[in-house]
Amino acid sequence: MGFSSSSRRSRVASVLQLCLCMLLCRVQGGSSHGQPLEEGINTLVPAPSCSARDSLDKDFHPDCWDQPTKTITAKRDPSSYELYIVYLGEVKHGHPNHVVASHHDMLTTLLGSKEESMASVAYNYKHGFSGFAAMLTPEQAKQLAEVPEVISVEKNKIHTTATTRSWDFLGLNYQMTSTSNGLLKGSKYGEDVIIGVVDTGIWPESRSFSDEGYGPIPSRWKGKCQLGPDWGSNNCSRKIIGARFYTAGVSDVLLKMDTLSPRDNNGHGTHCASTSAGSIVEAASFNGLAEGVARGGAPRARIAVYKSGWGSGSFSIASVLAAIDDAIHDGVDVLSLSITGEEQLAFGALHAVQKGITVVYIAGNDGPRPQTVVNISPWVITVAASKVDRSFPTVITLGNKQQIVGQSLYYQAKNSSGSSFAGLLVGAGCTADRLNGTDVRGIILFCLPLKDDAGTPVSTFDYASQYVRSGGGCGLIFAQYTTDLLTMTASVACQGIACVLVDLDTGEKIRKYGGVAGSSAVAKIEPAHIVAGKEIPGPKVAAFSSRGPSRHYPDIIKPDIAAPGANILAAVGNSYEFKDGTSMAAPHVSGIVALLKAEHPHWSPAAIKSAIMTTARVTDNRGMPILAEGLPRKIADPFDYGGGNINPTGAADPGLVYDIDPRDYNKFFRCTIVRRTNASCDATMLPAYHLNLPSIAVSELRRPITVWRTVTNVGEADSVYHAEVQCPAGVMMEVEPTVLVFNATDRVHSFKVKLAPMWRLQGDYTFGSITWRKDQKTVRIPVAARMTIQDFYADVA
């Protein structure tokens, strides 16, 4: 049953009156928080009770119509209304208010009244691109999709989130920047570059966000500091220069787990922000482990916070798009998003890139399975996770004096009496069925993995650790294949007990000892210690890091690059904690992008991406090929790490870049991602491998093809580069010309790449590379090709 017209008008009139009163209060200075932090630069905006954004006051928090919408649709049968994202393309009106008016005109025609239109809208996208998110029925969404100006209508989705050593490992040691050509020194530590972090918020009191010694906020900044119940005017600073939050499309259950402000009660956003741009903090550690200097990649960069993740880390895509739209308006230089978004965020990121903003996304945490990579748009940088040269060995001594070395983040409290022997109970799979009623008081439980019906090991670590802790046990030794998720040994369930991971070979030795010793088996677990440097091979691609090829766009190599993402120490609340994931890898790249942006302010997002990919390393710290952890370990390929593991110093001076006019992406976006007959599209569009990307992928190589690439010299004016070609197995590949000569007038050259299958074969991907070399400088791009003879061939038998 729907509202009557009179009751609906009454409801909307009440909302309008409330919002107008709040607006007048702000204009008259009625709020004690209404003074700007810096005149004309950073406006503090109190969080409104209704979130009117566009219709009355463009400075309100962007959820004005969230509450009215819920009220109205509840009486209309809420089950028939859902949040839809409507994309209209480029902004076609000069003033944002005019853009909003055009949205409401469109909806008024559909819904029958201006009141209905205004009540249905959660967000108006009006700065970087045009569109809106609105509560609609499926039938209304279908009708709206038929409007000629509408490019796409998609139902809103909910997605989730996916240090002291890592920066030294990457060659960015802030204490060793005396040389004139150091990236940190050359970029002034990323000074005044603005990184927009779209995440779960931020914890402003952390030492990592100190603004001591910072100058005025850049005058180009147009963002806001939005207030909330636990976020006051003093929480924005010269370091955290802006903070907003977004709630539309997020369930009330998640919102009640959090606070309606930019404050991070999850820890994920704070960890990411401090990794990318945290200030320098001496003597940071996790309970004494990994003690050292914590800092972000660009420690003098400014941070703008866009809280779109709530509760345990759930993101409404409609809210993330609103954050991207605001970030474009506010003036960020880099956008860092440690979330998955797939196609629904593609157009928002595209418009940001076309405004000169480099967008960095995660590859996902569903590895080592192939075809799991996410965020696969060619205009963004998609980041895989790697491991650094550091481990946390933990010695286990058995009752027969045999010593086993596992890994953990186990530490002992300062008043602890030290380690001692305890009874060792050897179990098989530590599932609820197997452990039912088992007495673990005062003992160490050892678990071997079970296998499901398909023979896949079943992980029961979470349950086993909780069982031991709640049952009064003193430790857990868990055998498993490599997952690179060591941080679970420091989870809530492990606090107060020793949780140690061992590999399956080591686990077999413990099992045999337990079988011989029986009920008299004992073990002792020592606290973890740190080993770092050349004794530990690194980098490696982490087992959990999602792998290519892309299921949707196999003619584009994804991920683009790998960066540290395993056992990363960074700020969480007022302390420092380890976290794993491509969520931790992406802010490493965001920080490096900020440094490159500071040193090369005129480089385009495509040039920055090219510099990062073409200078990446494909060998470890001893010159051996980088390995990819998984089932089993293997030599990494471009579907594991893209161009390789990031090399910040090399990226600062890449020699040549593969640049792209951002307008070239439009063909790919409108014709490939959005298949609509009424969207402008070049019918002669070439396959995606013709984009001037710093990589080449041909997913269906049936006959000889020619692919062109263009390079721009950003190094010494007079330079000569020679081509080095490594052919993918089974593929003939030639480059013409093989020599490129640059001077002051000829800075741009094109070359063609000919690829031809050697056999008529339904094959698999093989890999090669094209490298342009000048003395010791190399500019390398990966190449992937798959020979095919049939369409839609299922390689699963």
With bands split at pLDDT 50, 70 and 90, how would you rate the model's confidence at 293? confident
**What local confidence, expressed as pLDDT, does residue 543 receive?**
92
Please report whether residue 61 resides in a domain. Answer: no
Query: Taking a C-beta distance cutoff of 8 angstroms, is the pair 642, 558 a contact?
Result: yes
Task: Specify whether 146 is located in the same domain as 295.
Answer: no
Q: How far apart are CA 132 and CA 325, in angstroms?
A: 11
User: Mean pLDDT across the stretch 67-94?
Assistant: 68
**What local confidence, expressed as pLDDT, does residue 13 receive?**
45
Q: Is 463 exposed, middle or buried (0-12, 13-18, 19+ CB in 10 A)?
A: middle
Per mean pLDDT, which range of 321-325, 439-443, 551-555, 763-767 is the poorest?
551-555
**What local confidence, expressed as pLDDT, does residue 709 receive?**
98
Q: How far apart are CA 33 and CA 44, in angstroms?
A: 7
Task: Specify whether 377 is located in the same domain as 278.
Answer: yes
Answer yes or no: is pLDDT of 185 > 90: no
With bands split at pLDDT 50, 70 and 90, how would you rate the model's confidence at 488? confident
User: Mean pLDDT across the stretch 653-674?
Assistant: 81
Query: Taking a C-beta distance cutoff of 8 angstroms, is the pair 480, 504 a contact?
Result: yes
Answer yes or no: is pLDDT of 390 > 70: yes
Answer yes or no: is pLDDT of 142 > 80: yes
Answer yes or no: is pLDDT of 354 > 60: yes
Task: Specify whether 92 is located in the same domain as 204.
Answer: no
Q: How far apart are CA 212 and CA 279, in angstroms?
A: 9
User: Mean pLDDT across the stretch 756-776?
Assistant: 94
Catalytic residue flag (residue 5): no
Spatial neighbors of 364 by CB under 8 A, at least 6 apart, are 162, 340, 372, 373, 374, 375, 545, 546, 582
Catalytic residue flag (residue 583): yes
Answer yes or no: is pLDDT of 74 > 50: no
Per mean pLDDT, which range of 70-79, 202-211, 239-248 is the poorest?
70-79
Residue of 431, 497, 449, 448 lying closest to 470 (CA atoms): 497
Task: Tell me the range of 49-58, 171-180, 748-757 where mean pLDDT is highest.
Answer: 748-757
Answer yes or no: is pLDDT of 66 > 90: no
Between 452 and 574, the higher pLDDT residue = 574
Listed residues 529, 557, 583: the one ending a domain: 529
**What local confidence, expressed as pLDDT, does residue 331 receive?**
97
Q: Mapping DSSP to helix (H, G, I), strand (E, B) and coil, where does residue 61 land?
A: coil
With bands split at pLDDT 50, 70 and 90, how would you rate the model's confidence at 110? very high
**What local confidence, expressed as pLDDT, does residue 794 receive?**
61
Catalytic one of 103, 127, 268, 588: 268
Task: Specify whether 225 is located in the same domain as 286.
Answer: yes
Q: How far apart are CA 670 and CA 688, in angstroms?
A: 12
Neighbour tally for 148: CB within 10 Å: 6
Q: How far apart are CA 568 and CA 577, in angstroms?
A: 8
Q: How far apart are CA 535 and CA 508, in angstroms?
A: 25
Spatial neighbors of 60 by CB under 8 A, at least 6 apart, are 19, 22, 23, 45, 48, 51, 52, 53
Catalytic one of 66, 192, 199, 330: 199
Please report whether residue 509 resides in a domain. Answer: yes
Q: Which residue type occupies 340? A: T
Q: Mapping DSSP to helix (H, G, I), strand (E, B) and coil, where does residue 88 land?
A: strand
Task: Specify whether 383 is located in the same domain as 397.
Answer: no
Please report whether residue 33 resides in a domain. Answer: no
Please report whether residue 450 resides in a domain. Answer: yes
Question: 């997002």: which residue's tokens?
Answer: 605
Task: Tell me the range of 19-33, 140-154, 438-452 where mean pLDDT is highest.
Answer: 140-154
Answer yes or no: is pLDDT of 779 > 60: yes
With bands split at pLDDT 50, 70 and 90, how would you rate the model's confidence at 341? low
Task: Specify whether 366 is located in the same domain as 401.
Answer: no
Kindly state the DSSP code that residue 344 receives in the 8-state scheme.
G
Listed residues 485, 502, 529: the one ending a domain: 529
Task: Specify whether 556 is located in the same domain as 466.
Answer: no
**What local confidence, expressed as pLDDT, does residue 186 receive?**
76
User: Mean pLDDT across the stretch 74-89?
Assistant: 78
In the chain, % of residues over pLDDT 70: 82
Neighbour tally for 133: CB within 10 Å: 27
Q: How far apart are CA 389 and CA 400, in angstroms?
A: 32
**What local confidence, expressed as pLDDT, does residue 427 receive?**
75
Spatial neighbors of 558 by CB under 8 A, at least 6 apart, are 363, 373, 375, 376, 382, 548, 549, 550, 639, 642
User: Mean pLDDT across the stretch 229-234?
Assistant: 93
Please report whether residue 678 resides in a domain. Answer: no
- Residue-wise over 160-190: b if at least 16 C-beta within 10 A, else e? ebbbbbbbbbbebeeeeeeeeebbbebbebb
Residue of 369, 46, 37, 343 lying closest to 214 (CA atoms): 37
With bands split at pLDDT 50, 70 and 90, how would you rate the model's confidence at 15? very low
Q: Is 95 exposed, middle or buried (0-12, 13-18, 19+ CB in 10 A)?
A: exposed
Question: For the domain that residue 493 is a member of, what is the CATH number?
Answer: 3.50.30.30
Answer yes or no: is pLDDT of 46 > 60: no
Please report whether residue 70 resides in a domain. Answer: no
User: Mean pLDDT across the stretch 548-575?
Assistant: 92
Per mean pLDDT, which range of 643-652, 673-682, 755-764 is the poorest?
673-682
Answer yes or no: is pLDDT of 42 > 60: no
Answer yes or no: is pLDDT of 388 > 90: no
Q: Is 260 exposed, middle or buried (0-12, 13-18, 19+ CB in 10 A)?
A: buried
664: left (phi over 0), alpha (psi -120 to 50) or beta: alpha
Answer yes or no: is pLDDT of 635 > 90: yes
Query: Taking a C-beta distance cutoff of 8 angstroms, is the pair 525, 498 a contact?
Result: yes
Please report whether residue 75 resides in a domain. Answer: no
Listed residues 512, 529, 546: the one ending a domain: 529
Task: Specify whether 212 is located in the same domain as 242.
Answer: yes
Answer yes or no: is pLDDT of 681 > 60: no
Query: Taking a C-beta distance cutoff of 8 angstroms, is the pair 500, 468 a contact?
Result: no
Question: For the domain that residue 550 is a member of, what is the CATH number?
Answer: 3.40.50.200
What confidence tens digit (pLDDT) does each residue in 239-278 have? 999 999 999 999 889 899 999 999 999 999 999 999 999 9
Torsion of CA 92, 95, 97, 100, to 10 degrees: 10
Answer yes or no: is pLDDT of 691 > 70: yes
Task: Specify whether 377 is located in the same domain as 424.
Answer: no
How many domains does the chain divide into? Answer: 4
- Record the tokens describing residue 119, joined without a space: 């009540």
Please report whether residue 684 resides in a domain. Answer: no
Task: Specify whether 252 is located in the same domain as 343.
Answer: yes
Q: Which residue type occupies 734? A: E
Answer yes or no: is pLDDT of 417 > 80: no
Task: Specify whether 212 is located in the same domain as 275.
Answer: yes
Query: Taking a C-beta distance cutoff of 8 angstroms, is the pair 263, 231 a contact?
Result: yes
Q: How far apart are CA 165 and CA 378, in angstroms?
A: 31
With bands split at pLDDT 50, 70 and 90, how would you rate the model's confidence at 630? confident
Kindly state the DSSP code that residue 183 receives in the 8-state scheme.
H
Q: Which residue type occupies 400? A: N
* Domain that includes residue 134, residue range: 82-155
Catalytic one of 408, 583, 610, 699: 583
Question: For the domain that residue 726 is a member of, what is the CATH number?
Answer: 2.60.40.2310
Task: Specify whether 186 is located in the same domain as 243.
Answer: yes
Catalytic residue flag (residue 268): yes
Length of the chain in terms of residues written = 797
What confidence tens digit (pLDDT) does each residue in 494-531 have? 887 899 999 988 999 999 998 888 889 999 999 988 88
Q: How far apart are CA 83 and CA 727, in angstroms?
A: 49
End-to-end CA distance of the chain: 52
**What local confidence, expressed as pLDDT, does residue 482 receive?**
79
Answer yes or no: is pLDDT of 39 > 60: no
Question: For the domain that residue 109 is a member of, what is the CATH number?
Answer: 3.30.70.80
Answer yes or no: is pLDDT of 55 > 50: no
Q: Is 65 exposed, middle or buried (0-12, 13-18, 19+ CB in 10 A)?
A: buried
